[in-house]
């Protein structure tokens, strides 16, 4: 097989042909022109979305920072008896949900630590409280790591746990806990955490139940380009089977306050390269998210020209990345998000959690299109096999 080159890769991208793992690794070489890669990623992004760029109005709720795993990569988690360990009470959960609903949020993003002393029922109750308090809001809750723990402590199958969570109010899964799939790297980053097989099988089970999910990748620590591409290829393979992933979210590593503070932060150039290559490799993912909390506002805005089509949300009370030294604000005003998008030459489109366009008047909102105009395939896209049966639950849209 011939060596990869930018010329052959460009031709494949223009023709809508899938890139190989070797070609992905080649694009991570420093000597390969970043701007040329960005231009190709922008071509793919425009084919899928034109000049639209998405954002949503959401709130993060982190029910506890106590976590049994205490991963070296994590600045957020605490032991049960640490002075700054917390567990939100039902009243506090309800108050955060109430505030989010009053502010016009369409989504609650709910992730936290794996608390060793909390029973199975507590995790269900968290969702019930949020669902009861904010019945219209989409609940994107619990990473595959939390779900694996629930399966373990209850002795139930993952499918059965997910069914219980759906009954309690769950609408979709976030993409956290994926880190980097390679086990050698996981041994450094998160040695006690469930492995890649577990993460992938939980998302597969969720998709089989009709739930949508996202996928993340934590990069810029001790991994190589080979590990990043292996991660992307494994996600692409699962997406070929289920079609249940909505968005890919590359997460830039923040070393501050972790057990790896000696590592440098990834450069903005690596951030942009990773986003662009993700757009090129993940031909069967509709959305690439430039998560401004992790990237910083400047890089997230630039990422809209390097393959990303989504800036994520306004986000209230972000704790996880700020614990690791993120210098971004904790809340971004809608006007500021829209300005960032417009300055990048894109048209801002507010979306709900399923990428359906939202029309709003202050805190009042409704979804305007069904089926999802933002999600639908355009020429050259791999068709979706996914049927969103569980996602149109009462309370998610008006």
Distance CA 115, CA 319 (A): 17
Site pattern 152..191 for ligand SF4 (x: CB under 6 A): --------------------------------------x-
From the list 74, 251, 288, 358, which residue makes contact with ligand SF4 (rule: CB under 6 A)? 74
Strands of the sheet with 107-110, listed across from one edge: 58-61, 107-110, 138-141, 172-173, 212-219, 245-252, 287-288
Distance CA 317, CA 339 (A): 22
From the list 45, 48, 131, 193, which residue makes contact with ligand SF4 (rule: CB under 6 A)? 193
CA atoms within 13 A on the CB side of 247: 30
Task: Candidates 73-81, 93-101, 231-239, 352-360: pick the segment binding ligand SF4 (CB under 6 A).
Answer: 73-81
Q: Which is nearer to ligand SF4, 74 or 332 (CB)?
A: 74
Q: Does 114 bind ligand SF4 (CB under 6 A)?
A: yes
Exposure class string for 166-187: b at 16+ Cβ within 10 A, else e: bebbbbbbbbbbbbbbbeebbe
Report strand pairing: 138-141 vs 364-367. unpaired
Q: Does 300 bind ligand SF4 (CB under 6 A)?
A: no
CA atoms within 13 A on the CB side of 132: 12
Q: Does 150 bind ligand SF4 (CB under 6 A)?
A: no
Q: Which residues contact 27 (CB under 8 A, 6 or more apart)?
A: 4, 9, 37, 273, 276, 277, 280
Do residues 180 and 219 touch, judged by C-beta distance below 8 A? Answer: yes
Beta carbon of residue 77, minimum distance to ligand SF4 (angstroms, whole number): 4
Q: Which residues contact 66 (CB under 8 A, 6 or more apart)?
A: 77, 78, 79, 80, 85, 86, 87, 113, 115, 116, 117
Q: Which is nearer to ligand SF4, 324 or 354 (CB)?
A: 324
Beta carbon of residue 234, minimum distance to ligand SF4 (angstroms, whole number): 20
Distance CA 317, CA 78 (A): 18
- In degrees and rounded to multiples of 5, residue 226 shows phi and psi of -60, -45
Task: Candidates 66-74, 210-218, 242-250, 302-310: pick the segment binding ligand SF4 (CB under 6 A).
Answer: 66-74
Beta carbon of residue 76, minimum distance to ligand SF4 (angstroms, whole number): 5
From the list 37, 40, 71, 161, which residue makes contact with ligand SF4 (rule: CB under 6 A)? 71
Beta carbon of residue 219, minimum distance to ligand SF4 (angstroms, whole number): 15
Site pattern 76..105 for ligand SF4 (x: CB under 6 A): xx----------------------------
How many residues belong to the chain? 398
Beta carbon of residue 148, minimum distance to ligand SF4 (angstroms, whole number): 10
DSSP, collapsed to helix, strand or coil, labels residue 229 as: helix
Beta carbon of residue 110, minimum distance to ligand SF4 (angstroms, whole number): 13
Q: Which is nearer to ligand SF4, 61 or 134 (CB)?
A: 61
Q: Which is nearer to ligand SF4, 46 or 70 (CB)?
A: 70
Please give the residue ranges that form the binding site for ligand SF4 (CB under 6 A).
67, 69-71, 74, 76-77, 113-114, 145, 190, 193
């Amino acid at each position: 097989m011939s060596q990869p080159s930018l010329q052959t890769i460009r031709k494949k991208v223009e023709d809508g042909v899938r890139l190989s793992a070797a070609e992905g690794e080649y694009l991570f070489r420093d000597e390969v022109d970043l701007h040329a890669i960005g231009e190709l990623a922008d071509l793919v992004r425009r084919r899928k979305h034109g000049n639209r760029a998405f954002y949503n109005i959401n709130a993060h709720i982190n029910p506890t920072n106590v976590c049994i795993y205490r991963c070296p990569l994590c600045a957020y988690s605490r032991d049960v008896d640490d002075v700054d360990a917390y567990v939100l009470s039902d009243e506090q959960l309800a108050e955060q949900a109430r505030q989010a609903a009053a502010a016009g949020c369409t989504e609650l993003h709910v992730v936290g630590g794996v608390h060793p002393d909390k029973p199975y029922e507590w995790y269900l109750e968290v969702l019930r409280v949020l669902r009861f308090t904010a019945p219209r809001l989409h609940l994107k809750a619990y990473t595959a790591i939390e779900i694996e723990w629930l399966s373990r402590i209850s002795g139930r199958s993952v499918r059965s746990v997910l069914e219980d969570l759906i009954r309690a109010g769950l609408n979709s899964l976030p993409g956290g806990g994926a880190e980097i799939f390679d086990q050698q790297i996981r041994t450094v980053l998160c040695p006690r955490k469930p492995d890649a097989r577990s993460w992938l099988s939980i998302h597969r089970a969720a998709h089989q139940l009709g739930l949508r999910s996202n996928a993340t990748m934590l990069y810029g620590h001790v991994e190589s380009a080979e590990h990043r591409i292996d991660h992307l290829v494994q996600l692409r393979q699962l997406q070929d089977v289920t079609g249940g992933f909505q968005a890919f979210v590359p997460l830039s590593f923040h070393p501050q306050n972790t057990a790896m503070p000696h590592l440098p932060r990834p450069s903005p150039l690596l951030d942009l390269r990773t986003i662009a290559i993700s757009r090129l490799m993940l031909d069967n993912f509709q959305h690439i998210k430039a998560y401004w909390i992790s990237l910083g506002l400047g890089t997230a805005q630039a990422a809209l020209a390097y393959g990303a089509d989504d800036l994520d949300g306004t986000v209230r009370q972000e704790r996880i990345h700020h614990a690791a030294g993120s210098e971004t604000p904790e809340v971004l005003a809608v006007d500021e998000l829209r300005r960032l998008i417009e300055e990048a030459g894109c048209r801002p489109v507010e979306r709900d959690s399923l990428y359906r366009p939202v029309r709003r008047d202050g805190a009042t909102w409704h979804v305007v299109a069904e089926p999802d105009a933002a999600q639908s395939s355009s020429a050259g896209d791999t068709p979706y096999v996914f049927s969103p049966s569980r996602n149109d639950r009462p309370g998610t849209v008006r």
